[in-house]
Each structure stands twice: as C-alpha cells, then as structure tokens.
Structure 1
Amino acid sequence: MKILILEDEENIRGFLKINFERNNFIVIEASNGREAIEKSIKEEPDVAILDIMVPEIDGLTVCKILREKYSNMGIVMLTAKGQDLDKIMGLEYGADDYIVKPFNPLEITLRIKALMRRLKGHDNVDESITYGPFSVDSYSQTISKTQQPLDLTPTEFLMLKNFIKNPGKAFTRDELLNIVWGVDFFGDAKIVDVNIRRLRTKIENNPSEPEYIETVWGKGYRLRK
C-alpha cells in the first residue's frame, strides 16, 4: 500500500515515514500542497495523510482536489488540538478521518489500518443487494440509485450499504462508528453527522428535507422503510 504524507515539518514527516515503513507501507513525502497534488497524480497513493497548515496550497484544498479526482483514495487530515472547524471542514471536503496532533504512533497506525480495511471492502459477503431505488454491488464496491452510479467515498459506501441492508433499523452514532469506522476508532462521534450530511447531498433530491435517510431524534439515523 502506498501512503502520501503531506507535512511541512521535516521532523514530523520523518517520524511518520519511519513508522509507516516499519509497517510495510511505501511512503511518498510532500512538504507543500502543490507537491502533494503532483505526486498524487504521478504515484496514485492508496491513502493520503494531509496536514492543514502547509505552504503554497493548504491541506483542505488538497483534500478537496484529491477527493474530486480519486473517489476511492483514503484521506486523513492532521489537525491541531482544539481546531474543531478544521476537522469539520476536512470531513466536508471529503476526508475519511482526522487525527489530532500530538498523536502517538500506535494510534495513527491503527487508524490507517482501519481505513485500509474499509478501502479493501472487507465485508463482501453480499454480492448484490437491492432496496427501493438503491442497488449495491459489493464486488465492484458501487451503489446505484435508479441505475445511476453514485460517486461515493469508501466511508460513504459502507455507511449507505449498512442502511440498505437494514431498512427501518435505527442506528445510534456509536453503532455506526463501530460498523463503519471500527471499534478501534478514537475520534469524535460528530464524524457520523458530517458523513450523513455529505451522503444526503448525494442521494437525496432535497437534502434539507431527506426522503431516504431519516434522523431519529434521541437515537441516530435510519433508512426510511
């Protein structure tokens, strides 16, 4: 697996490089946003770790550009402690996860490995599922609505697939975290809300009045039965 590390602080980037090479990753380094985009186009990494405050092109813009170009790439943002807006903006721009500085090597390795499992689509038991206007093809990791493929990130794919497999079932945020992000996820449950909002923009005719994914007040979310 190839991993791109966008980080302008050489000591942090070097630390991450050593950590991931020990875990058998091929590491691609970038010290500014422009370099990260150029190397991503050339090398096509499986996962990108993006620091936000970097020269030339900031990490959020890099995230947006990479997500538009590579729907299946795993993207993780590095954010400073207490910068909640950066976390939310990163997720809105298409990031799959975020990691708060300072971090420890065990946490970041677990988070990236959990993301890799989602990228590989480890739950491929059902080759095809159909419910309402939605059709899931687990083999190709695609979901269609009225026979039109949806442009989903790996995280959005797993979340929507889970809803389609369980129509009418209300899931708490913690349940969705465990199913989609894994039991070893260390982050904030708000990541669920942001991904639901992002998913609604892709499947709903009017995201402000959702027809398919309902909010269950005091509980979480469900696919309308």
Structure 2
Amino acid sequence: MSHPYAVVVADLLLVEDDETIGGALSTSLRTHGHTVVWRHGGKAALQDAERRSFDLVVLDLGLPDLDGVEVCRRLRAVQPGCVIVVLTARTDEMDVVVGLEAGADDYLTKPVGLAVLHARLRAHLRRGAPAAPLAPTTAIGDLVVDTARRRVTVGDREVSLRAKEFELLARLAAEPGIAIPRATLMADVWDANWFGSTKTLDVHVAALRRKLAEYADGARLPRIVTLRGHGYRLEMR
C-alpha cells in the first residue's frame, strides 16, 4: 500500500555510496510507494540509466568512482526528461551553480530531513496545471512559443529546451513586458508549495539566455531582464 502523502508513485534511481544514508533513503522512498534502484557508484548508475527509464534521480556528488557532476551531465544526456535532484554535503554556492548547470533540477545539501526531501520530490513529480492558463501560441518578435506542441521556434529553426526551461520561457512569454516576481515563477513553473533556495530559477534563466543567444543573429528576439530583488521580465530589445 502506498504512503498517504505520495502524490505520484515513481521509478527512482538513488545514487549514494554511504550505506547508512543510502539504506535510510531507500527504505523511506519505498515506504512512500516508489520503486527504487539503489546504486553505490556513478558507473553502475549510468549503466542502469542506459537500460531503462527513470522518473527521478537522487544523486550524491561525492561518489567513489566518478565525479558526481560528470555523472549528472551524462544522466541528463541519456535521459533528458528525467528529474535530477542532487543531494550532497557540498554547500559552496559555486558547487550549487555547477551542479545545476550540469543538468540538475534541484540541489539539496546534507543533512536534510526526510520530510523536506519528500516534499521536494513531490514538488518535482507533481504534474499540476499552471496557476493561469497559457495561450496556445505566443509570438514575440521572431520568437514563437507553442505551448500545445511544447515547441519554441525562431523563424524556421527549433530551439532545443529542457522541460523546465520551456515552462519558464512559456510563463514569461505569457505576460510580455510584465515584471513577474520570483515567488510567482517558482510557484507556476516548479510548485505552488515550493520552499527553500530559488537558485535553480537563476540557473534556468541563464541557460535560456545562452540558448536564445545562439539564434540572435539576424532575428528579432526578446530579452530576459533581471529585476533585482523582484524577479524577471521578458521584453523586446
């Protein structure tokens, strides 16, 4: 019987070399109704990821055989649609940025309470509707965001975006020229009950800027403006 608080029963990959921590996490995740594959090293985890699909990966960065950041990059390449949550003792802000830019969707530092961990996993696994309905297609200059087909194009070229990058751009494009608070973006793109660091928002914005810049030559594209202490705004240059 699944745990009463489990919103989604998911296939999880746990990558943790510490026996005590891994055992506790594996048991707790299974108690919440999830299927869990526990691997102690990066190589074994990557082999599993190449053979089968996972909904979510909980990844420690301090692994005995491969650097966790490299494992994160390779997991993202193998399973682009999978949620990757880094769980590590590394607390330096640069480590957080590097982990998120390697493809992680979230970054939690040890020690973390099981209740907090499960709340964050539920937030990532939940597939609720956005707070406000988005237009099927939005065009801003030469940028077209098609929410029905989940496609972003510039002219006849399609922009390759990860799931959260697309959802963030679609949310900004829904109200062009409007200043949208950080809390609103986190609630609409990630989860209404999100709590903790919002660094992931900044990293996803940076990734969007880099990807859109690749299509800027000769195209009329909007820019994402940072509003310090408030949030972001999508506007034409």
TM-score exceeds 0.5 = yes
Counterparts of residues 97-116 of structure 1 (less than 5 Å): 97-116=106-125
**Contact residue 145 and residue 152 of structure 2 kept, 8 A:** yes
Counterparts of residues 71-220 of structure 1 (less than 5 Å): 71-80=80-89, 82-117=91-126, 120=127, 122-123=129-130, 126=134, 128-132=136-140, 133-205=142-214, 211-220=222-231
- Tell me how many residue pairs correspond in the alignment: 221
Q: TM-score, normalised by structure 2?
A: 0.83
Identity %: 31
Q: Does 1:63 align with 2:72?
A: yes
CA–CA distance in structure 1, aligned partners of residues 159 and 111 of structure 2 = 36
Q: 1:85 offset after TM fit, Å?
A: 2.1
CA change 1:168–1:104 in 2 (3 A) is same
Q: Does 1:33 align with 2:42?
A: yes
Aligned Cα RMSD in Å?
Answer: 2.4
Q: Computing the radius of gyration over CA atoms, which structure comes out larger, 1 or 2?
A: 2
**Contact residue 22 and residue 38 of structure 2 kept, 8 A:** yes
- Equivalent residue letter for 2:123: A
Structure 1 runs not aligned, ≥5 long? none
| Correspondence for 2:16 | 7
- The superposition leaves residues 93-116 of structure 1 with CA deviations (integer Å, 9 ceiling, x where unpaired) of 111111111111111111111111
Secondary structure in 2 aligned to 1:212?
strand
Q: 1:81 offset after TM fit, Å?
A: 5.8
- Equivalent residue letter for 1:214: V
CA–CA distance in structure 1, aligned partners of residues 180 and 107 of structure 2 = 22
Structure 2 runs not aligned, ≥5 long? 1-9
Relative to structure 2, which stretch is displaced further, 159-168 or 176-185?
176-185
Q: 1:43 offset after TM fit, Å?
A: 1.8
Q: 1:2 offset after TM fit, Å?
A: 0.9
**Contact residue 204 and residue 212 of structure 1 kept, 8 A:** no
Q: Does 1:221 align with 2:229?
A: no
**Contact residue 94 and residue 153 of structure 1 kept, 8 A:** no
Q: 1:158 offset after TM fit, Å?
A: 1.5
- Equivalent residue letter for 1:192: L
